[in-house]
Amino acid sequence: MTARQVVIGIDSSTQSTKALAVDVDSGAVLGHGRAPHTVSTGPGRESDPEQWWQALKAAVSDTGWADRAAACSVAGQQHGLVTLDAAARPVRPALLWNDVRAAPQAAALRAEFGAAELAARTGSVPTAAFTAAKWAWLRANEPAAAARTAAVRLPHDFLTERLTGGAATDRGDASGTGWWGPDGYDQDVLARIGLDPALLPPVLPAGARAGTARPGSPLRAGTPVATGTGDNMAAALGLGLTPGQPVLSLGTSGTVYAVGSSRPADPSGTVAGFADALGGWLPLACTLNCTLAVDRFATLLGRDREQVEDGGTAVVLPYLDGERTPDLPGASGLVHGLRHDTTAGQLLQAAYDGAVHALLTALADVLRAGGRRPDDDRPLLLIGGGARGRAWQQTVLRLSGHPVQVPAAEELVALGAAAQAAALLTGESADAVARRWRTAEGPVLEPVPRDEATLGRIADTLHRAGALQQAARGV
């Protein structure tokens, strides 16, 4: 009898670290672990990377397979700026993807190079979320911390390096920095933001091994560790996506993406031309305000998140953390159209509507950038923490007019990392591993007619809000 091979996939997200022990042959999840993170609530959004490392060790140990795993891989939240000193210790807490303080630095990059030039170079027009803008912010606001920095890493890079002792990243996560393109690190962008390329890790090819676990890690010493990738790229692997299949991910942020064979270069900045974790591309758009913003409205209204009601004329733009799509880093939440008879349940439903409208608008741009028609009748794959919520499902159905499929598999980012680890052992591509595991299968919800009235109210409110902002700026 052949001994069972088990791999561990890790998802280090904004709020927690999750780890899954997965059978290489069947894809069955044999063990899981989870440990929380804390995020600052001050003027920015920061988190201590040492906390991520402790959470990773706890989550991996809790799977029950740490000492027996045949391979491992780490996926992590994109864009985060991790600065390390000469002893490989964090200089300061990491600046996270949803920290919008770098908006002036992003604007300065766009002004110097031009949006179209940056899109051509790096696939994306940087916003405050991008790592390049965050490094520029650090140099401008905390020059002593920048001067002490001996290495710059992304969250998944930092954790992979802690496991193996060697510096490495992958093309998928690197493509979210704003300083990487198809030809490698962009020397002109790095020079503009004052970042020495020697501080960056090498970009390993898809399917490569980053190293092996060293003594003191939660894994058995010598365990192979894959290169890893960013969380969105890992979720695409975890689904075994084929080109053009649209995905809506409902998490702390909302993301929409589809695998493509060519790299988009959207000068509007709506669509990020990310690389995937293989050899293709992952055009993606992201909103900052998704499940947490809607949950905050539910709390303010004293309602459970599922206690929505139909009807009403209220419109909610839930931009509680500023917004990335549309690019409004200084925005705040807006409620419009209240009446005496507006109920709390209707207002909560309006918060869902505002969040989903932003995602669907961005998805249309993503599909066009990838050469697909927005009216393609394939089901929308609904994933992430909100995907199993009835209110989220019904809102996506009602505003999209498309069928919606909810994969039965959970923790798709960790599953994608597990597929990378398994690919080290089997020689398959990681997406082929996930398709063999049948991770995308799940019930399909039949389409309903699009709610054009609600879509029209939201579009009108966005137009009015934009006009008011222009008037305030004297445009």
The single residue of 231, 276, 327, 353 carrying the catalytic annotation is 231
Main-chain dihedrals φ then ψ at residue 84, nearest 5 degrees? -120, 145
Q: Hey, what amino acid is at 370?
A: G
Cβ atoms 9, 419 nearer than 8 A:
yes
CA distances from 397 to 290, 339, 356, 357, 387 (A): 16, 26, 10, 11, 12
C-alpha to C-alpha distance for 82 and 73, rounded to whole angstroms: 19
Determine how many CB atoms are found less than 10 A away from the CB of residue 194. 13
C-alpha to C-alpha distance for 50 and 91, rounded to whole angstroms: 11
Determine how many CB atoms are found less than 10 A away from the CB of residue 232. 30
Degrees to nearest 5, angle at CA 308 with 306 and 309 = 150
Of 74, 5, 1, 56, nearest to 422 by C-alpha is 5
Owner of token pair 């496991």: 163
Determine how many CB atoms are found less than 10 A away from the CB of residue 278. 24
The gap from C-alpha 193 to its chain's centroid, in whole angstroms, comes to 24
Q: Is 291 left (phi over 0), alpha (psi -120 to 50) or beta?
A: alpha
Determine how many CB atoms are found less than 10 A away from the CB of residue 117. 15
C-alpha to C-alpha distance for 184 and 284, rounded to whole angstroms: 20
Q: How many helices (H) and strands (E) does the chain have?
A: 15, 24
* SS3 state of residue 95: strand
Strands 272-275, 151-153: pairing kind: unpaired
Based on the residue annotation, tell me whether 231 is a catalytic residue of this protein.
yes
C-alpha to C-alpha distance for 212 and 452, rounded to whole angstroms: 54
E strand or H helix that includes residue 161: helix 155-164
Question: 439-462 burial, b for 16+ CB within 10 Å, e for fewer?
Answer: bbebeebebeeebeebbebbeebb
The gap from C-alpha 265 to its chain's centroid, in whole angstroms, comes to 19
Q: Hey, what amino acid is at 346?
A: Q
Annotated catalytic sites, by residue?
231
